[in-house]
């Protein structure tokens, strides 16, 4: 069969793009190298803004659970910032079921799904793109969307590859746990814990309680590390992190050891998200938050924007790079300024954040501003300048207090 568009990769970016394209009347093929259900390296925590933009996630019950309390811990564990609200501050998903359900939504809209074969190459013909699969078959389409992850085959094919000096690496595991134990450890609010720079790591550790699981992991941001220094053994860091959690009663003392998983994510967008007849979405385009590694929201947004651009391009028979740059412009309009700010802030992971957390923990107004911003439909980014200005006020007040207080 001949398709209007083929999407390589059926994660949140690919599935979202496929859904919008099919709803827009495009004959859509969705290609995935693995069979569902399959897992992905991810904590599975979502900012609440994703539910405001993609309301069908809640309508189709794709959310596993919610957390209405978050606690940030300083590197020394001496200082803490506690956020809590009557409404949820964070939504939780299990990637194995979340991704599969996103694909089901796409196929219900008429998307053709083909799993179990990896895309090995694409060639450009006069009218179409031929896609060669590992099972020896091939498909043809007028356009291609690359949503095939950080090490994207499609991105490489159009000369856009991941900058390995700007990546995050993570190790995590997801423990099955009874509702009773989760309630005992994290309370009825399912309190999230974020540990900044545990054991000197240039990143953070997380504890994400879910309905009957708890996701625990650490991540390191390579752009914040001097490349001349020896790389840390993340597996050993993870094991040390588990000991910290046990010491502070944030996980059972005698939890059975289970397999850990690792992964990498981009912290810098590729130079161009478009080429003739090709668009890049999600991690394939380097579209993950440079400071936190958050990827699902940006993946789904990029999938939606790419789909809307592709529909207009196909309807007008204008699939050249010049026309498709509308996608890049729309992405930049929504997210570029935030990404520039987060990229600069991400380099702070290489510097001690102890004083910053101590400062923030003593400023109730700052905590209230952040807490009210977290569930905002546009996310914490909506209030970023208010938060930054309050940080400056708190810093200056603290310096002045030290200056005028006799020693």
260 and 392: one domain? Answer: no
Q: What are the backbone angles phi and psi of residue 208, rounded to the nearest 5°? A: -115, 100
Is the four-CA dihedral 43, 49, 53, 59 of positive or negative sign? positive
86 and 180: one domain? Answer: yes
101: in domain: yes
279 and 297: one domain? Answer: yes
pLDDT tens-digit series, residues 49-68 = 999 999 999 999 999 999 99
47: in domain: no
pLDDT tens-digit series, residues 367-400 = 887 777 777 666 666 677 777 888 788 778 776 7
pLDDT for 41 beyond 90: no
- pLDDT the model gives residue 362: 85
Three-point CA angle 235, 46, 355, nearest 5°: 65
281: in domain: yes
Residue 100 pLDDT grade (very low, low, confident, very high; cuts 50, 70, 90): very high
234 and 282: one domain? Answer: no
97-122: average pLDDT: 97
333: in domain: yes
Residue 258 pLDDT grade (very low, low, confident, very high; cuts 50, 70, 90): confident
71: in domain: yes
What is the number of other CB atoms lying within 10 angstroms of the CB of residue 135?
11
- pLDDT the model gives residue 294: 93
280 and 341: one domain? Answer: yes
113 and 184: one domain? Answer: no
* Cis amide prior to 37 (ω within 30 degrees): yes
The tally of domains found in the chain comes to 3
pLDDT for 406 beyond 80: no
Which CATH number goes with the domain that contains 86? 3.30.9
Can you give the residue range of the structural domain that contains 387? 362-404
pLDDT for 147 beyond 90: yes
pLDDT tens-digit series, residues 169-207 = 999 999 999 999 999 999 999 999 999 999 999 999 999
Q: Tokens representing 355?
A: 């004083």
379 and 319: one domain? Answer: no
Rounded CA separation 267/244 (Å):
27
Q: Which of residues 265, 294, 324 is at a domain's end?
A: 265
């Amino acid at each position: 069969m001949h398709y209007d568009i083929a999407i390589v990769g059926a994660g949140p970016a690919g599935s979202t793009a496929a859904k919008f394209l099919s709803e827009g009347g495009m004959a859509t093929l969705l290609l995935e190298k693995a069979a569902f259900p399959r897992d992905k390296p991810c904590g599975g925590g979502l900012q609440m803004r994703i539910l405001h933009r993609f309301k069908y996630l809640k309508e189709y019950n794709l959310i596993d659970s919610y957390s209405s309390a978050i606690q940030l811990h300083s590197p020394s564990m001496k200082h803490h910032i506690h956020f809590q609200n009557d409404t949820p501050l964070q939504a939780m998903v299990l990637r194995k079921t979340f991704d599969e359900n996103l694909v089901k939504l796409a196929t219900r809209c008429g998307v053709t799904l083909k799993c179990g074969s990896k895309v090995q190459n694409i060639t450009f013909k006069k009218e179409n793109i031929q896609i060669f699969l590992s099972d020896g078959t091939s498909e043809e389409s007028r356009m291609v969307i690359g949503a095939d992850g950080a090490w994207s085959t499609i991105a490489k094919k159009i000369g856009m590859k991941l900058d390995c000096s700007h990546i995050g690496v993570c190790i995590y595991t997801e423990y099955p746990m009874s509702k009773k134990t989760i309630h005992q450890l994290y309370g009825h609010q399912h309190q999230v814990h974020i540990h900044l720079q545990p054991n000197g790591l240039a990143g953070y550790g997380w504890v994400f309680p879910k309905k009957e699981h708890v996701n625990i992991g650490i991540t390191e941001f390579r752009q914040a590390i001097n490349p001349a220094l020896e790389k840390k053994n993340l597996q050993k860091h993870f094991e040390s992190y588990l000991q910290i959690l046990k010491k502070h009663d944030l996980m059972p003392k005698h939890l059975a050891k289970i397999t850990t998983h690792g992964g990498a994510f981009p912290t810098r967008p590729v130079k161009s998200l478009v080429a003739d007849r090709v668009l890049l979405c999600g991690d394939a385009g380097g579209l993950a938050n440079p400071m936190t590694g958050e990827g699902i929201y940006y993946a789904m947004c990029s999938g939606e924007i790419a789909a809307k651009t592709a529909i207009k391009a196909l309807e007008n028979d204008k699939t050249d790079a010049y026309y498709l740059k509308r996608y890049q412009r729309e992405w930049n309009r929504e997210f570029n300024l935030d990404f520039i700010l987060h990229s600069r802030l991400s380099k702070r992971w290489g510097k001690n954040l102890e004083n910053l957390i101590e400062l923030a923990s003593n400023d109730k107004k700052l905590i209230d501003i952040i807490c009210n911003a977290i569930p905002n439909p546009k996310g914490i980014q909506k209030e970023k300048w208010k938060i930054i200005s309050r940080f400056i006020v708190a810093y200056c007040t603290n310096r002045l207090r030290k200056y005028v207080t006799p020693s």
